[in-house]
Structure 1
Amino acid sequence: MASKSKKLRIRYHNDHFEIEKENNVQQKLDFLPSMISLCSSNYLLQTTLTPMKILNCNAAASVPSSFSKVFCDIEYYGKDSFVFGDAFRTGMDILGDYFIRNIVPKNRQFLSVFEKLLDFIDGDRSVKISDPHRVQNLRDKELAIILSNHLFGKLALTSYFAADKAWSCEDEGQCFCDDENCEMTGVYLDTSIGNVEVWHGCMDIVINNEMPVVVPWEAFSDSSNGNNGGEMKEESVLEGCAQLIAETIVFSFLQRKSHPDRNHFLTPCIGISNSEMVVVLYDAKNDVLLESSPIPLFKDSFSGEFSYTAVLVSWLTVNYKYLCTAVPEHFTNDKSEFFVHAKNKLPMYQENLRFGGVLKNPATNLPRGKLKRHKANSSTSMVEHEKKLMEILWRP
């Protein structure tokens, strides 16, 4: 996507950068309810993160498991949910300054990250799908490539992504949307991670070498093309999904090993179905596992236009290296107990994982937990963001 930074007319004024833009006010109003959901203390409006506890899993089984054969039984610390924005306070502060005061970051790196969101908002927030019913019937690789090409990649600082080489076909450079001139900004590569002695397998997509995107195997029914080409099932399969949890945990350990100097090690993974997305995060240092509430991908059931909440959550998540501020301190005691269950092989997860050259096995059905939702907690800073945003929303 071509940069629109000239149209945004960002200028330095009174010791801060601000935006001059004719339709700036209407765009803010369109996104305001979704912004509020990320920090709201209102149960009905909240986009939340909930800690999870592993009750039993095969992370250290004598017979190592691929992601497609993962077993991971979990329960939720349901009353300890907190608002999504509390794990992304840097990003929320940037959004708050923009929505409330119309200013953008002084820091050049943060400004570059924020311009990716502004460019996306200013452009076409939809995927070209000629038949609206096709949105509900996209196959796994079609869905993953389209979302990486038109949503996640465009919001990341760089649009590069790697897709599982098992998906490669004759038209390797072509997107699966209905724009015949639309090309992938990614490539098909070996995306396998882990170690054959523990959990391992191929990621569907890896955005900019830093964040996985997973389409769970059980999201698809059998078809003439096999499990890897089936149509998406109607029911949600993302909450408590064992495959999604396992891939997030393994990727987090790998990131900690690769980037030991980072301020924190809370690493996200986005799980997708044809109608919604869920963000799972794992802190490989503090052993905290989080799952977001489901977020609608599209504005409506048969639209190629992305929902405002999906846009904001995707921007925060793909740029977590800059915008995430780790697990709120008062929730670090909600341990996932992965360290306990993987005790015998924990050194393998901590020291011997790799990216590339790891085998992948066929799929099986995967278990998932259930969550009874409670009102999520909001920090003082999130309450303050909500108060100011609500004032704007109800301003005469």
Structure 2
Amino acid sequence: MTEGPSANKKLKIQNEFDKSPNWANAFRLTSVQAIYPAFAVLQLGPDCNAHMSVPFTDAKCNFRKVGLEVGGLYMIDFDDIFSKGIDLLIDLQNNSRELTEEEQRAVDILDHFLKDKEKHQQSLHKVLGGCKSEEEKDEKTNSFETHMTIALAEHLFGKLAPGQSYVIDNRVRGKKEKEMCQCRLDHCHGRPKFDCTGIGDEKAWHGFLDIVFSSHPVAAITTQELYGDENDEESETVYDEDSPDGKTICEMQLNHGAENQAIAQTIVFSYIQRKRHPSFQNYLIPNILISPYHFRILMYDSLNDILICSVKLPIFQDKEKCEKLSVESIVFLWIVLHYRIFCVGINVTELLNSGSIKDLRDIQSNFPERAREKFKLYEESSTIGISSFLPIPEEIFPSLDSFLYGKRLFKPRRLWKNSI
């Protein structure tokens, strides 16, 4: 029996998978012993400033992890949210179904990346692992931020994302009009594109994403510091714009301020996607927070007001050497960047029916309450592609000029006495 073209293509690709050690590592995620990343549920505290006009860099979320007083944190596994991605890997390994065109494109992207993995890890090692002393850090912090953003976009995010194209925030370009990837290796031919990446509304949380991809809605943030300990991380941004206008957020982390920035961006971005794409099956929109060694996945469901954050995932197998990329982390990142076809969202009905929670408010972030009178603005007015934000005037102590057109609450006493 002669098989159709799509079946032949599927079988051909499967044979290539069988010969690839990188795909063998990827397929380990399909075993029953596989351990997936977990997400914690976050809530915003009363000191959150979502009701104020502040840039993302000054966002204050006052967040906390949510769980039972006895029994630890509420936890959601990666495969609970991205079950379609894990199921696809299982079917690929077993060669048990034909792929849709969208799935085939996604698989081809991962396949091409894994074939060129050695080249990409050489480039990332040269840029991310090349500045280790405190003296180098002090001298190169500003330029390193730009170099890292470009390298991650060119050799990681941009190669795994739908569409495989991106735009970098034009404010990180510095004095160089044509900033190139600093790996300068023969296989690197990328030409970064710079453009405006502002999102939000100047009357509320607002600011700029570092990178924009050109397919599903995704974004990312890079760090301003080279190194940090387990609790010391900072950030920058990347996002994707190939779906009708969609984007996803991705961030880098090296200090607590970056965590607040990432949360604010994730929430704003989700409301923008919900407004622009009312046909989405769910609005659990990701943002990736990334440092030179790790990344976290933040996601916010603007329909159900649920905010979650993953544990750290390593970019390299050994962060001290920064030489070999972690295939497992690459696969997780690929699934997240293709969330439009792999993410099933959070099944709130199942959670309530199973008794895992008694009330949806137990796991909601409380963002509408924290945004106060600005909440409708987030739902209706936040937008994307903004080149600049007008500053909102701050209140200052009174000056003589401020009284020129003022209104006195009491009649001047001297005039009153002279009229007697």
Say yes or no: TM over 0.5. Answer: yes
Q: Pick one of 121, 135, 155 that aligns with 2:160.
A: 155
Q: Are 2:139 and 1:134 equivalent residues in the alignment? A: no
Alignment of 1:1-396 (within 5 A): 12=7, 19-21=14-16, 23-24=18-19, 26-34=21-29, 45-56=35-46, 57-61=48-52, 64-78=53-67, 79-99=73-93, 101-103=94-96, 105-125=98-118, 126-128=121-123, 129-130=125-126, 133-134=129-130, 139-168=144-173, 169-170=175-176, 172=178, 174-179=180-185, 182-184=188-190, 186-208=192-214, 210-216=217-223, 220=225, 231-235=226-230, 236-237=232-233, 238=253, 241-301=259-319, 302-329=321-348, 330=350, 333=360, 334-355=363-384, 356-359=386-389
| Distance in 2, Cα, partners of 1:15 & 1:158 | 21
TM normalised by structure 2 equals 0.71
Instruction: Say whether the 8 Å CA contact 2:25–2:328 is kept in structure 1.
Output: no
Instruction: Say whether the 8 Å CA contact 2:50–2:371 is kept in structure 1.
Output: yes
Count of residue correspondences: 332
Residues 1:59 and 1:263: Cα distance change in structure 2 (over 3 Å): same
Gapped regions of structure 2 (runs ≥ 5): 68-72, 234-252, 353-359, 392-420
| Distance in 1, Cα, partners of 2:160 & 2:9 | 29
Q: Which moved more, 1:249-258 or 1:78-87?
A: 78-87
Gapped regions of structure 1 (runs ≥ 5): 1-9, 221-230, 362-396
TM normalised by structure 1 equals 0.75
Residues 1:321 and 1:360: Cα distance change in structure 2 (over 3 Å): farther
Instruction: Say whether the 8 Å CA contact 1:211–1:318 is kept in structure 2.
Output: yes
> By how many angstroms is 1:323 displaced?
1.4
Residues 1:323 and 1:17: Cα distance change in structure 2 (over 3 Å): farther
Please provide the CA RMSD for this pair.
2.9
AA at the equivalent of 2:92:
Y
Q: Which moved more, 1:204-213 or 1:346-355?
A: 204-213
Residues 1:190 and 1:16: Cα distance change in structure 2 (over 3 Å): same
Instruction: Say whether the 8 Å CA contact 1:19–1:102 is kept in structure 2.
Output: yes
Instruction: Say whether the 8 Å CA contact 2:266–2:285 is kept in structure 1.
Output: yes
| Distance in 1, Cα, partners of 2:371 & 2:365 | 11
**Local SS of the residue matching 2:308:** strand
| Distance in 1, Cα, partners of 2:111 & 2:390 | 39
Q: Which moved more, 1:345-354 or 1:90-99?
A: 90-99
Residues 1:121 and 1:105: Cα distance change in structure 2 (over 3 Å): farther
| Distance in 2, Cα, partners of 1:18 & 1:182 | 26
Residues 1:252 and 1:127: Cα distance change in structure 2 (over 3 Å): farther
Tell me the alpha carbon deviations over residues 291-344 of structure 1, each in whole angstroms, 9 at most, x when there is no partner.
011000112122243212220111011111121111233458211111111131
> By how many angstroms is 1:133 displaced?
4.1
Instruction: Say whether the 8 Å CA contact 1:207–1:318 is kept in structure 2.
Output: no
> By how many angstroms is 1:130 displaced?
4.4
Q: Which moved more, 1:153-162 or 1:190-199?
A: 153-162
Q: Which has the larger radius of gyration?
A: 2
Tell me the alpha carbon deviations over residues 239-280 of structure 1, each in whole angstroms, 9 at most, x when there is no partner.
971011001111111111111111111110100111100010
Looking at both structures, which has the greater relative contact order when contacts are Cα pairs under 8 Å and sequence separation is at least 6? 1
In structure 2, the residue matched to 1:365 is none
Instruction: Say whether the 8 Å CA contact 2:316–2:322 is kept in structure 1.
Output: yes
| Distance in 2, Cα, partners of 1:354 & 1:131 | 33
**Local SS of the residue matching 1:134:** coil
AA at the equivalent of 1:357:
S
Instruction: Say whether the 8 Å CA contact 2:298–2:309 is kept in structure 1.
Output: yes
Q: Which moved more, 1:103-112 or 1:235-244?
A: 235-244
Residues 1:192 and 1:33: Cα distance change in structure 2 (over 3 Å): same
> By how many angstroms is 1:74 displaced?
1.1
> By how many angstroms is 1:232 displaced?
3.5
> By how many angstroms is 1:285 displaced?
1.1
**Local SS of the residue matching 2:88:** helix
Q: Which moved more, 1:144-153 or 1:20-29?
A: 20-29
Q: Which moved more, 1:288-297 or 1:11-20?
A: 11-20
| Distance in 1, Cα, partners of 2:62 & 2:148 | 27
AA at the equivalent of 2:85:
G
| Distance in 2, Cα, partners of 1:156 & 1:255 | 17
| Distance in 2, Cα, partners of 1:244 & 1:90 | 26
Residues 1:35 and 1:54: Cα distance change in structure 2 (over 3 Å): farther
> By how many angstroms is 1:106 displaced?
2.4
| Distance in 1, Cα, partners of 2:183 & 2:97 | 33
Instruction: Say whether the 8 Å CA contact 2:127–2:148 is kept in structure 1.
Output: no
AA at the equivalent of 1:121:
L
| Distance in 2, Cα, partners of 1:350 & 1:132 | 38
> By how many angstroms is 1:116 displaced?
0.8
Q: Which moved more, 1:332-341 or 1:89-98?
A: 332-341
Residues 1:77 and 1:119: Cα distance change in structure 2 (over 3 Å): same
